[in-house]
Chain A
């Protein structure tokens, strides 16, 4: 099993609905706040951005780093989380 956290497994297990952005794997309080300031207050908003970037992991991690100041690890974690969610539900 890959090194996915419980948070990750919880997120990809079900449709995200109205979950807050902090429910995403890799997004904690600090990053969540920064994203909310940018207007991304819900997980589906970040999902929207992921889809706009054509589900490209690299582009998305770059965007996330620029927007929220996330480091590579968190950004990659969030990207992988969204990708697996899309694989199951999109």
Chain B
């Protein structure tokens, strides 16, 4: 607290500029006010530094991308050599798209861990045209299509924590399922037991 006092006028001026605080000349009568403002700004800075959310999401995305790349290399060795070359050729293109997918699916990794394996297979078949390799995964993740839209909203704003969105989704899905099964209508429901 008293460290402010020992700073020279010039140093206080520089600190104020550093924090972007508009100020006038630092003279005797104004010094106390600027010292107070600097203390407030420093406290605010400490608060924002300890907030982990923006940095942590970056980390998570980076980590996810790296882990996904590692996942791919052992798969490559499994496939026969005939597919090895075209696999390599379209791999960077697909990995670019995967990076885009990563950002969308970064939050939903636990859910899509099984979906990833499906993603690999069609990729090998579609080595000829890399454009369709992007369209193939979409029917696979169709059941979770609604989640993707919710994902986009979550990743852009992140106002509502993700787990709450998942919870709400599960509750709504469960409720709809319950309604569906409790219907007495004659529609052929796939959920009915085969008699």
Contacts and interface: CB of A to CB of B under 8 A. Distances in A.
A53 B24 contact: yes
Nearest to B27: A52
5 contacts: A49-B29, A53-B23, A53-B24, A56-B22, A66-B36
A54 B24 contact: yes
Interface of B: 22-25, 27, 29-30, 32-33, 36-37
Contacts of B27: 52
Interface in A34-90: 49, 51-54, 56, 59, 62-63, 66
Nearest to A38: B29
A54 B32 contact: no
Nearest to A65: B33
A54 B22 CA distance: 9
A59 B23 CA distance: 8
Nearest to B29: A49
B29 to A, nearest CB: 6
A27 B147 CA distance: 61
A55 to B, nearest CB: 9
A63 B36 CA distance: 10
User: A-B pairs with the 8 shortest C-beta distances?
Assistant: A54-B24, A63-B33, A52-B24, A53-B24, A52-B30, A49-B29, A52-B25, A66-B33
A56 B22 CA distance: 9
A51 B25 CA distance: 10
A66 B32 contact: yes
Nearest to A55: B24
A66 B36 CA distance: 10
Nearest to A40: B29
Contacts of A51: 24
A66 B35 CA distance: 12
Contacts of A66: 32-33, 36
A54 B23 CA distance: 7
Q: Among B23, B25, B29, B30, which residue has the most Cβ atoms of chain A within 10 A? A: B29
A66 B40 CA distance: 14
A13 B64 CA distance: 69
B32 A52 contact: no
Nearest to B26: A52
A44 to B, nearest CB: 14
B23 A62 contact: no
A89 to B, nearest CB: 20
